Structure 1
Amino acid sequence: MKVAVLGAGAWGTALAGHLATRHDTKLWARDAALIESLSRTHENTRYLEGVKLPQALAFEAGFAAALQHASADDALCVIATPVAGLRELCRAMRQAGVVPAHIVWLCKGFEADTQCLPNEVVAAELPEHRSNGTLSGPSFAREVGQGLPVALTVASASAELAARTVAAFHHGAMRIYTGDDVIGVEVGGAVKNVLAIATGISDGLGLGLNARAALITRGLAEMSRLGVALGGRAETFNGLTGLGDLILTATGDLSRNRTVGMQLASGRTLDEILAALGHVAEGVRCARAVLSLAQSRGIEMPITQAVCRVLFDNVTPRDAVQALLSRDAKAE
């Protein structure tokens, strides 16, 4: 299969490396200097240092050429940009006059300005496109790049897109499950990042494993309430893209969002943390959107609210935790 991966961040790079062991794969990035470095070293020293990429993986600086590579009916286009870049990329496809027949995206979060999920962005920008969906689940790019086992879910209303995604990715140490609850999968992928900031704050303050377990469990309840209100199915949040992704992101040392929380607990400012991180922390970008959507629907999300107060309202982590502990008792 011919596959084009659009976006050479850590996750796009790791998945392109996996795909290239089985398929004719090209990795595109808008930064020509990054493409030159990748072509020369077969290593993404900027985003995935130390992970050697297969020699079969090709690198492409030309956007139109990358789209052409994935334009056939038996090809696949993988969008690996952050949510913030998804709308622009879809518009660029239209402008280039080449919209691949089958598109799957990897980004997790809500678009900050519009509060749209990725599937809503794609539907608005490519309204005639039908064979598309999201690939999500508990995954760290570095471990995938190292060939360690991982299980992901592709969610789509298109059986053809789901089958093509399975054919592309389901080999080696990667297992792909299928489903059609696109909204549920995307809400899980977005909200877990906000909740991981909360668990990072708790861990950074030394509040213990009991507190972490409580935050994950009650956070899952928040995620489920919002997801169902937005049109997702409750059972989705007990699967890989809900509970599974939440556990990994809230507890794993490779989690960027958990790192943000831990460093906030240490007294560093958000600007300092993000400058040093060097990667996107989607929980910071979409926290306000998550809270706004919840409030507009009358849904209680106290953990998410506490995270927003720390991120944007100059509330200290300890004061935010104290406010959570001071809430009235209620039935679970």
Structure 2
Amino acid sequence: MKVTVIGCGRWGSFLAWYSAKIGHDVILWGRENSKNMKKLKNERKNEYLELLPSIELSNSLEYSISNSDFIIVAIGAQSLREFAKKLKDYDNKDKTFILNMKGIESETGKRLTQVFKEAIGENVNVAVWLGPGHVQDYLKGIPNCMVVSSENIETTKKVVSTFSSELIRFYYGQDLIGNEVGAATKNVMGIAAGMLDGLELSSLKGALMARGTREIARLIKALGGNETSAYGLAHLGDYEATLFSKHSNNRGFGERYAKKEEFTKLAEGVYTIKALRKLSMQYEVDLPITDALHRIIYEEKDAKDVLESLFLRSTKFEF
């Protein structure tokens, strides 16, 4: 099978490596002026992995799209709309697009499949590939479970059968809304977890996990999804990799923020907080953890005061 991966960062380069490793013909696309792509072209490796010899590198978007059956998109969530507009004039009829990214458009509060279809056209075949797992662990041969979801079960099954291996065990996602929202919002909980680490309040992560999952379950239900999806692989199932792992950018951002230190890598949850605030008001859903993070990051309130107030100073019934 012919596969193109769009995006040559940590996750995109891994997906190209993984797809080639399980036997597919792979094109890895990146922008011509991308530092990541320049390094891969010069050295065939980055700080995480060495590309397999069979992987073709390309700066031509038209070539990369037209020569593959499956197009995996692994770029920043906030860049998706503008990128997808570039694909509108291509022949996408028989192709399957897989969004391998986690986020909600910050300005609109829309899920990424909604954004993608608005930009490229409603008839496009699109799925999401979500769940736990870090590049560093996969490269050590440590397996994990992930989930694929779409509006069409046949598309879901096709993606699962094409990309399953002993390294990644896939489940069929039955709730696209819940899986997309759950995957995006676990990054927000990761930021909160990192702040607790930075404030030496890590013992409160248990409370964060319990309350965070219920908070997102309420939102998923309000958006028309199945609230139990919050307890699946896309959200609660990804907590270990996001709230505890040293490899998590969102947890790392939260920890550095609480310590008033700079963090230079992409933490998608920062943008998702803004999107969740919009959805909270639009659907009248109480999201106290999200509100707390908004006060800390966007209103510059003291992280220790806000988080201690959230977890330690209120007496209420648990359920």
TM norm structure 2: 0.93
Describe the SS at the equivalent of 2:26.
strand
Q: What does the per-residue CA deviation read over 1:165-220, in whole Å, with 9 as the maximum and x for residues that have no partner?
A: 123320141111112311101111111111111111111111242x1111111111
Q: CA RMSD in A?
A: 1.8
Letter in 2 for 1:330: F
C-alpha contact 1:103 1:161 (8 A) present in aligned 2: no
Cα drift, residue 124 of structure 1? 1.1
Report the CA distance shift for 1:103/1:19 in structure 2 as closer, same or farther (over 3 A).
same
Please state if 1:38 is matched with 2:32. no
How many residue pairs get matched?
316
Aligned pair partner of 1:88 in 82, 92, 104: 82
Instruction: Map 1:223-302 onto structure 2 (within 5 A).
Output: 223-268=216-261, 272-273=262-263, 277=264, 279-302=265-288
Range with greater deviation from structure 2 (259-268 or 15-24): 259-268
C-alpha contact 2:29 2:58 (8 A) present in aligned 1: yes
Cα drift, residue 315 of structure 1? 0.6
Instruction: Map 1:143-158 onto structure 2 (within 5 A).
Output: 143-158=137-152
Range with greater deviation from structure 2 (103-112 or 287-296): 287-296
Aligned pair partner of 1:103 in 97, 101, 105: 97
Aligned pair partner of 2:293 in 307, 313, 330: 307
What is the aligned-residue identity percentage? 30
Unaligned runs of 5+ in 1: none
Report the CA distance shift for 1:127/1:50 in structure 2 as closer, same or farther (over 3 A).
closer
Describe the SS at the equivalent of 2:147.
strand
Cα drift, residue 23 of structure 1? 0.3
Distance 1:242 1:267 in 2: 28
Distance 1:169 1:10 in 2: 19
Cα drift, residue 230 of structure 1? 0.9
Instruction: Map 1:20-169 onto structure 2 (within 5 A).
Output: 20-21=20-21, 22-32=23-33, 34-44=36-46, 49-70=47-68, 75-96=69-90, 101-169=95-163
Distance 1:154 1:256 in 2: 22
Cα drift, residue 37 of structure 1? 2.8
Distance 1:58 1:52 in 2: 13
Unaligned runs of 5+ in 2: none
Cα drift, residue 292 of structure 1? 2.2
Please state if 1:326 is matched with 2:309. no
Report the CA distance shift for 1:61/1:101 in structure 2 as closer, same or farther (over 3 A).
same
Distance 1:253 1:29 in 2: 27
Report the CA distance shift for 1:205/1:239 in structure 2 as closer, same or farther (over 3 A).
same
Q: What does the per-residue CA deviation read over 1:78-114, in whole Å, with 9 as the maximum and x for residues that have no partner?
A: 1111111111121101144556621110121111111
Distance 1:146 1:30 in 2: 29
Distance 2:66 2:78 in 1: 24
Letter in 1 for 2:240: I
C-alpha contact 2:10 2:48 (8 A) present in aligned 1: no
Range with greater deviation from structure 2 (139-148 or 16-25): 139-148
Describe the SS at the equivalent of 1:241.
coil
Cα drift, residue 263 of structure 1? 1.1
Distance 2:297 2:122 in 1: 38
C-alpha contact 2:20 2:55 (8 A) present in aligned 1: yes
Cα drift, residue 65 of structure 1? 0.5
Q: What does the per-residue CA deviation read over 1:6-51, in whole Å, with 9 as the maximum and x for residues that have no partner?
A: 111111111110001110011101135543431332212xxxx042
C-alpha contact 2:148 2:170 (8 A) present in aligned 1: yes
Range with greater deviation from structure 2 (87-96 or 16-25): 87-96
C-alpha contact 1:197 1:261 (8 A) present in aligned 2: yes
Distance 1:23 1:32 in 2: 27
Which residue of structure 2 lines up, in the alignment, with residue 7 of structure 1?
7
Describe the SS at the equivalent of 1:40.
helix
Letter in 1 for 2:6: L
